[in-house]
Amino acid sequence: MINSRTLKENKAWENIGPVSKGGTVYAVAVSPVELTRCWAATGCGIYFSDDNGDTWIQSLTGLTTPLLGAIAVSSEGALLAGSLQGELFTSFDFGESWASGVVPAESKGTITGLAISPNFKSDGTAFAATDGAGLLATRSSGHLWEDSSFGLGNNIILAIATAPDWSHREIMFAATTDGVFISMNGGRAWRETELMLSDDVVDVLAVSPAFESDHSVFAGTENGCLYCSKDSGRTWDMVTEHIGDGPINCLWIDPDYAVNKHILAGVSSELYMSEDDGSSWKLVAENDGAVLALAGNDKIIIAGLQDCGVLRSQDSGTTWKASSETLSARGFSRITSVDNLLFVMGPQEGIFVSQDAANTWDKIPGLEGYLPIATMLVKSADEILVASHSCGILHTTDRGVSWQAVCQVEGIQVIALATDGNGLAGTAEGELYITLDGGESWNSTTSPAVGQNIIAITFSPNYAQDHIILMGTAVSGTPSQQARVALWRTTNGGTNWRQLTTQVTNARWLDIALPYGVKDRVIDQAIMATGPFCLRPLRRAKDVWISTRVDPSGTNALSVVSVGEIDSGGILYVGTGNGVFRSIDGGRTWHAFLRPEESQSFISLTLTSKDDQYSLYALSLGGRVFKYTVAR
């Protein structure tokens, strides 16, 4: 429980705002019930809006992964969400919190679409299309999922849709790479329709809201063709050979379609509208990113975009405007400071720099062709090293104006340098590379952990004198041994290594923090964060480490910052999946320190120093930055 002291301290946090708004929105949903709420599924969790997209709030409670690629809402307001890793979730409080469903391991594949029975409140039935694991169904309101692919003949399900009324027939449609299939019994068995294509692929299905009377269903293809059936899927006609230039990514049919014949289509990065049942189309919006999803009701329509957040229309799709000012769903993973400048990076986002305490950010140029990147090392305001997954280590001395490949080794995960120019780089396979010239050239060197994933390297601030390096590795589990993270130490610059300690965890990260404001034996006060644990050295006993669970709820400890002597009034801060936690007794006990409504998961922390105070910066999942002033 947060005590009064914690509440008072929370007021000192400043929500500075996002590094960069927007991000990729894979799927959207709009509530059909009277209270209009909109949802967006992103790689940083679910976001919801109660004011037609003016403001967005991140929702992570109960989610075991933030990588959400599908979302759907029932006629009563129950929600389903599916992840890029195959997990499925339900929410019965309009997306405020989520519960995991049970999905068999052999049935897990990227969720490509969701469909909910019109009778979900009574039958608890819903469907999840997967990429490679077939069609899944739940008949227990999302608690248990099982295969429902009988008759489909293909495990790659690209789209799924149900008829809006199951009072007479439980009709639904599914698209595989072979074509469109129909089920007349609620997904228990499937058969082919006439729309079986050999030279094109149906990616999108949309059923008329008036299906019981007009029997209409639409199918959009990768080549940009639009097909329509007017007899409940038995026969199909091509309505339009090409709506625009590119694939049809999504379709939306107006709730009053029976009267106005109004349809919207997302084609590549453009939005098109038809008011004559798809016979003709007009361009209504052009975007920088592809239109991935459409959802709406009679008041608002939301479009999810690649990289650019969301658009909204409040006039049935005639005009559109961006609605991502408060939606930050960027894949940033780290914040660090050098010379009181702040740098953030993300694998697909690249690197951004702020010169004014996170108020404004500029993107470091030149990295677009080298993405994704695994890590960065900032030596100065202008000199940066980056590990590209495909191109090895890149080096710039002019803040990104030009980049030079200095180590063409794939798979480098970590780069670290000492002040004297010595450095190490580690790969996902446990290989080590050494530099003696500040990162300008690299050579292979002996590693004690070949076959393990090198996830952290830290040099002693006094390396020139003590030659100490710490290294963290992730060790995969075996039938006889659990997965773990190991900490290694060398006292002779890497000639010999010794394993100091291990922590049983499935985590594949380790953050090693050295204390700020300490001059003597700094490396002996290293603090580690991995899994849900913070590890601190017991300095009275050599090579003994104490592991403490930071958050009682068990969320992961993702980043750690240490200020002062650990056993003499030092303070520890840890970013977790449930806010920032603080310890004022050297990591023995913890209390919640930052839990704002705007963000829940904090993935990286850093500290800057000026005059007589420190500034602690916390980077949230999605890319919002918070600041706290720490008096010395």
Distance CA 446, CA 496 (A): 9
pLDDT digits 0-9 by tens, 33-62:
767 899 999 999 999 999 999 999 999 999
Listed residues 234, 260, 286: the one ending a domain: 286
Domain's final residue, options 256, 286, 316: 286
Question: Could you tell me if residue 185 is inside a domain?
Answer: yes
Which pLDDT score, from 0 to 100, does residue 444 have? 97
pLDDT at 27: 98
Tell me: pLDDT of 402 over 80.
Answer: yes
**How far, in Å, CA of 536 to CA of 120, rounded?**
50
Q: pLDDT at position 353, please? A: 97
Residue-wise pLDDT tens digits, 9-32: 445 789 999 999 999 999 999 998
Same domain, 516 and 378: yes
| 235 & 335 share domain | no
Residue indicated by tokens 């480490």: 545
Over the chain, what is the mean pLDDT? 93
| Pair 227, 371 in one domain | no
Q: For residue 429, give the nearest of 476, 491, 488 by alpha carbon.
A: 476
d(CA 206, CA 234): 15
Average pLDDT of span 450-462? 96
| Per-residue pLDDT tens over the stretch 97-111 | 999 999 999 999 999
Residue 177 is predicted with a pLDDT of: 96
User: Around Cβ 451, how many Cβ atoms within 10 Å?
Assistant: 11
- Identify whether 35 is part of a domain: yes
Asked if residue 274 belongs to a domain, the reply is no
Would residue 256 count as lying in a domain?
no
**Rounded CA gap, 374 and 357, in Å?**
25
What's residue 540's pLDDT? Answer: 64
Query: Residue 70: beta bridge partners?
Result: 82
pLDDT digits (tens, 9 = 90+) for 268-292: 999 999 999 999 999 999 999 999 9
User: Considering the entire predicted model, what is its pTM?
Assistant: 0.91
Report phi then psi at 82, rounded to 5.
-125, 145
For the ranges 373-377, 404-408, 515-519, the lowest mean pLDDT is seen at 515-519
Q: What is the pLDDT of residue 3?
A: 33
pLDDT at position 493 is: 95
Q: How far apart are the first and last CA of the chain?
A: 27
What pLDDT score was predicted for residue 632?
Answer: 57
Q: What is the pLDDT of residue 140?
A: 97
Q: Which amino acid is at 74?
A: S
The predicted model gives 568-583 an average pLDDT of 92
Arithmetic mean of pLDDT, 125-137:
97
What average pLDDT does this structure show over 353-359?
A: 96
> Based on the domain organization, do 226 and 342 belong to the same domain?
no
Where among 263, 286, 309 does a domain terminate?
A: 286
Task: Identify the DSSP state of 6.
Answer: H
> Token digits for 511?
């953050």
Number of domains the chain is built from:
2
Pair (49, 177) in one structural domain: yes
| Percent of the chain whose predicted confidence (pLDDT) is above 90 | 87
Question: Count of CB atoms within 10 A of residue 2's CB?
Answer: 13
> Residue 521: is its pLDDT beyond 90?
no
| Residue 103 forms part of a structural domain | yes
CA distance 533 to 39: 33
Judge if 386 and 478 occupy the same domain. yes
Q: What is the residue range of 474's domain?
A: 330-631
Quick: pLDDT tens for 310-355.
999 999 999 999 999 999 999 999 999 998 899 999 999 999 999 9
The verdict on residue 561 lying in a domain is yes
Q: What does 441-500 look like in DSSP terms, one character per residue?
A: --EEE--S-TTSEEEEEEE-TTHHHH--EEEEEEE--BTTB--EEEEEEESSTTSS-EEE
Please give the average per-residue pLDDT across 432-458, as a whole number.
96
Report pLDDT digits (tens) over 478-492: 999 999 999 999 999
- As a residue count, the chain comes to 632
Q: Please say whether the beta carbons of 601 and 578 come within 8 A.
A: yes
pLDDT of res. 7: 31
Inform me whether the pLDDT recorded for 361 exceeds 80. yes
DSSP state of 358: T
H or E element at residue 80: strand 79-83
- pLDDT of residue 65 exceeding 80, the answer is yes
Q: What is the per-residue pLDDT for 598?
A: 63
- What is the sign, positive or negative, of the torsion defined by CA atoms of 175, 176, 182, 186? negative
Q: Is residue 69 part of a domain?
A: yes
60 and 178 inside one domain: yes
Asked if residue 335 belongs to a domain, the reply is yes
CATH number of the domain to which 98 belongs:
2.130.10.10
| Same structural domain, 461 and 597 | yes
pLDDT of residue 36: 84
User: Confidence band (pLDDT; 50, 70, 90) for 8?
Assistant: very low
Q: Are 164 and 209 in contact (CB under 8 A)?
A: yes
- 454 contacts 426 by C-beta, under 8 angstroms: yes
pLDDT at 384 over 90: yes
- Within 11-158, residue ranges assigned H as helices are 120-123
Residues 236, 344, single domain; the answer is: no
